[in-house]
Chain A
Amino acid sequence: MSENRLYQKLVFFSIWLVIGLLLGLAFKEQTRIRTAELPSARLPELARAYVQEKQSNAALEEEIRQLRQRINELETAFASGAKQAELLSQSLQEAKMIAGLLEVEGPGIELILRDSARKPSGESLEQLLPELYTIHDYDLLRVVNELRQAGAEAISINGQRIVATTGIRCTGPVVYVNDVKMASPFVIHAIGDPKTLIGALEMPGGVLSDIKSVDPKMVQLKALDKVRIPAYSGSTQFRYARPVSAQEVKP
């Protein structure tokens, strides 16, 4: 009788142990799913937007201050007349800087995107969607867009400066950037606050997380203290566009 009783207890114990295991696992799994779905995907994005908004506010105020100062400068320059030539060349430099016609350097990031080395096998995702495993024009466009949004001041892809008229387009197996052919790997340099740039690129649900979800080895991202970005070397001729009312454009 007592032996039977012990046996019963053992069975009871082990069954409850297994139930505990199942419950614990189920609990952990549900917690994981819940935390993965809501807050962690939303919060960093909102926090980033908030910080960026604050920074851009501060930057705009600074810009207003500088512009006011500039007006003062110009007024005094007109009065004196002598400093005019100097100011003109200064604003020419600025315009060239904005247009990407000067070689620039500064802190920034290096991002290398390459096609996946994985070989398609069997009934896998690779075979069904092989285009997921290569880098396309839209990946580059999303990266460039995200970098600009995060305040990148100069961007280049494989040494090609991205300017206002740059086109990025897939043609067959190659990508044209500024009418220059290139293929994987794509080395993207950008000058700006490295933290902000990396944060923008690695945003949950952003471009890099999409690529990484296919194959993490396709993406290599690092901050650099000094990035050198060459000047735009293509044509700057305007064949159709003309400035409106030349009198108003005068400085």
Chain B
Amino acid sequence: MIAVGMLGLIIGVIIATLVLNVSLPEEWAAYLSLAALAGLDTAFGGWRASLEGRFHADVFISGFIVNALLAALLAYLGDRIGVDLFLAAVVTLGGRMFLNLSLIRRYYLNQFALRRQRG
């Protein structure tokens, strides 16, 4: 599962850096980064869910799209009203990513311990 994800990530980065030749306006750069962050968060969430055996593709996809859009929208709104709202998105998404990663780590550690007990 994860190998598939990593393959997708690598191909995506390669396409973005080598094949795609779009230059976005500078103001969009911050929103783009934020959308990428939101996507990363959802992906880690999906990884964790798949490990726990409760992965639902529809939740995953909708979460990905809505989170990315919401994060970008929040940042835009923050820009308009002069409040650094993107910080809220960064803190929330960053915190959740750490949480998900720690759960993923624990899952693999458990697996490892179980295998050693049996072995």
Contacts and interface: CB of A to CB of B under 8 A. Distances in A.
A18 B64 contact: yes
Given A13-B4, A13-B5, A33-B29, A19 B40 contact: yes
Given A20-B15, A24-B15, A29-B29, A15 B8 contact: yes
Contacts of A25: 16, 20, 22, 24, 32, 36
Nearest to A28: B17
B39 A18 contact: yes
Given A8-B57, A20-B13, A26 B36 contact: yes
B8 A13 contact: yes
Contacts of A32: 23
A50 interface: no
A21 B16 contact: yes
B55 interface: yes
A12 interface: yes
Interface string B1-32: 10011111111111111001011101011001
Q: How large is the interface on A (under 10, 10 to 19, 20 to 34, 35 or more residues)?
A: 20 to 34
B35 to A, nearest CB: 6
Majority-rule SS of A interface residues: helix
Contact of A23 (B1, B5, B12, B42): B12
Majority-rule SS of B interface residues: helix
A53 to B, nearest CB: 34
A251 to B, nearest CB: 62
B50 A20 contact: no
Nearest to A25: B16
A30 B1 contact: no
Contacts of A17: 8-9, 11-12
A15 B11 contact: no
A13 B36 contact: no
Contacts of B55: 8
Contact of B64 (A13, A15, A21, A30): A15
19 contacts: A11-B57, A12-B4, A12-B50, A15-B5, A15-B61, A16-B6, A16-B9, A17-B12, A18-B64, A19-B36, A19-B39, A19-B43, A20-B8, A21-B13, A24-B12, A25-B22, A25-B32, A26-B29, A26-B32
